[in-house]
Amino acid sequence: EIKNLLLKNSIEECEPCEGQFLSPIFLVPKLDGAYRFILNLKKLNKFIDAPHFKME
C-alpha cells in the first residue's frame, strides 16, 4: 500500500532538514483485509495552542 501511495504521488520520501516538520505514517490492517492509513501528528500537537472552552 505504501508503494501504491508513492506511485500516486500522495506521499513522498524525504530527508529531514532544518525548519521542516516530519510526521511518521503507517498502515494498520482492517478486519476486511484493507488497510487504514495512520498519520501520527503527536509531536506536532505539542506545538499547537488549542483553545480551551469552559462548559457552563
- CA-CA distance, 27 to 35, in Å (whole number)? 6
Q: Phi and psi at residue 36, in whole multiples of 5°?
A: -100, 125
**Which residue matches cell numbers 501511495?**
5
- CA-CA distance, 47 to 43, in Å (whole number)? 8
Residue 46: per-residue pLDDT: 83
Domain residue extents for the chain? 1-11+24-44
Q: Cα-Cα-Cα-Cα dihedral of 38, 9, 15, 46, to 10°?
A: -40
Residue 45: per-residue pLDDT: 84
More confident position, 2 or 26? 26
Contact (Cβ atoms closer than 8 angstroms) between residue 5 and residue 11: yes
Q: pTM of the full predicted structure?
A: 0.51
Residue 51: per-residue pLDDT: 83
Q: Dump pLDDT digits (tens) for 6-55.
A: 899 888 888 877 877 778 888 899 999 998 989 888 888 888 888 888 88
